[in-house]
Amino acid sequence: MPPQKNQQSIVFSAGESSGDQHAANMFLELKAQQPSIKGMGMGGAKMAQAGIDIRYDSAGIAVIGVIEVIKHYGEIRKALTLMQQLVASERPDLLVCVDYKEFNLKLARFAKQLGIKVLFYVSPQVWAWRPGRVKTYGKAIDMMAVIFPFETAYYDAEQVPVRYVGHPSVDKVHPNHSRSENCYRFGLDENKAIIGLLPGSRANEIKRLLPIMLSAAEQLQTELADVQFILPQADSISDSLLNDYLNASSCRITVIKNQPYDVMQCCDAIMTTSGTATLEVALMTIPMVITYKLAAITYWLGRCLVNTPFIGLPNIVLGKLAIKELIQHAATPENIAAEVIRILLDKSYADEMRANLLLVKAQLGQGGGSKNMANLALEMLKLN
């Protein structure tokens, strides 16, 4: 049944692990200010824990790349149909689309035709490719909430309503314990080198990148004495998927669930997939190497379409190559291991990287992204 008129409702649409977290944090802030507000939609465990009524679990459609999207097209189409039906039947006071760009653009257009307000959270990377999308999104939404300060100019230029709300990672990237405590808790020797493996939060990233990282770890184990490895397991990755690869490796990898920032804090160097994780590592000021690998056709299309010299978010924020990027054919165990060794053994190189990461942290500001998003939603609902 549609919600009662005295109870305002929001439909959330998040298709990936990071979006699930962002929507959850936003909804908790909303509930703190407006306890009667109702939330429902598509997402994952974090949104459910925050009190959002999950009508479609997005775990099965958290994919990236042309080939992967084609493989999962039927499931993605099913999810879109279900979400359109939800929006049409519930007639929410606001639709909040969190990232998951193409899917949410279609959903936003549908909602807009029904006269439902649309708030889009996390802009497509118009500064990297297809800046013309600013106009396309402008026709489908009522407000674009951006997470990097330089993004507002693209929307202002086309007179699309935009608000810089701050990057959500700034608020959440905080360890709960000291480095010494965390090393003790995780069974690590803080006086010996600790290397983190961040293979991603999507199943296809694990399949493509974890074997390469594990091979790099095996090389490091051969070349360095007493090196230790730790991996923070994303909520969206099953034990069975991870163990398929870990059990085949000669390295002992300590796997820790639900404590990513405590894990990062232990590390002297991190090998990470490209994505939000790179920004989180930057906020922790841990030296890293960024790696990524896509299906060949997806990579080729990306090369044709993307107009940015960098793939890593810290490098994009700084406008320079401060962190080594090993992409596609360069993403080899040998190259990854060589960069980690340089970070561990070349103090001036690691110190320069840390100084650059502090600049990234400064540019991202003081945070408050989730609260700013809640305030913006309430403003659109005319509740505050």
Q: Output the domain CATH number for residue 336.
A: 3.40.50.2000
Q: pLDDT at position 30, please?
A: 96
Which pTM value belongs to this model? 0.75
Flag whether 350 is in a domain.
yes
Half-sphere exposure of 79 (CA within 13 A, CB side): 26
Flag whether 218 is in a domain.
yes
Q: pLDDT at position 306, please?
A: 61
Q: pLDDT at position 219, please?
A: 97
The verdict on 38 and 68 lying in the same domain is yes
The verdict on 262 and 314 lying in the same domain is yes
Q: pLDDT at position 4, please?
A: 47
What is the C-alpha to C-alpha distance for residues 208 and 2, in angstroms, rounded to an integer? 43
> E-assigned strands of 185-286?
194-198, 228-233, 253-257, 269-273
Q: pLDDT at position 127, please?
A: 65
The verdict on 258 and 375 lying in the same domain is no
Flag whether 174 is in a domain.
no
Task: Decide the pairing of beta strands 143-146 and 53-57.
Answer: unpaired
Work out how many domains the chain is built from and give that number.
2
Element housing 237 (H / E): none
The verdict on 321 and 204 lying in the same domain is yes
CA distances (Å), 278 to each of 29, 283, 325, 334, in order?
26, 9, 11, 21
Q: pLDDT at position 263, please?
A: 98
The verdict on 274 and 137 lying in the same domain is no
Flag whether 1 is in a domain.
no
The verdict on 323 and 376 lying in the same domain is no
The verdict on 323 and 184 lying in the same domain is yes
Q: pLDDT at position 304, please?
A: 52
Flag whether 267 is in a domain.
yes
Flag whether 87 is in a domain.
yes
Which candidate, 283, 264, 284, 265, places its Cα nearest to that of 360?
A: 283
Residue 90, number of CB atoms within 10 A of its CB: 20
The verdict on 198 and 310 lying in the same domain is yes
Which candidate, 347, 183, 181, 173, places its Cα nearest to that of 266?
A: 183
Flag whether 78 is in a domain.
yes
Q: pLDDT at position 303, please?
A: 58
The verdict on 141 and 258 lying in the same domain is no
End-to-end CA distance of the chain: 27
The verdict on 339 and 351 lying in the same domain is yes
Flag whether 173 is in a domain.
no
Residue listed under structure tokens 């700034």: 170
The tens place of each residue's pLDDT in the chain, 384 residues long, gives 454 456 899 999 998 888 898 999 999 999 999 999 999 999 999 999 999 999 999 887 766 555 566 777 788 899 999 999 999 999 999 999 999 988 999 999 999 999 999 999 999 877 656 667 899 999 999 999 999 888 898 899 999 999 999 988 898 899 999 999 999 999 999 999 999 999 998 888 899 999 999 999 999 999 998 999 999 998 888 999 999 999 999 999 999 999 999 999 999 999 999 888 999 999 999 999 999 887 666 555 555 556 667 888 999 889 899 999 998 889 999 999 999 999 999 999 999 999 999 999 998 888 899 999 999 999 999 864
Range of the domain at 249: 179-364
The verdict on 377 and 355 lying in the same domain is no
The verdict on 233 and 330 lying in the same domain is yes
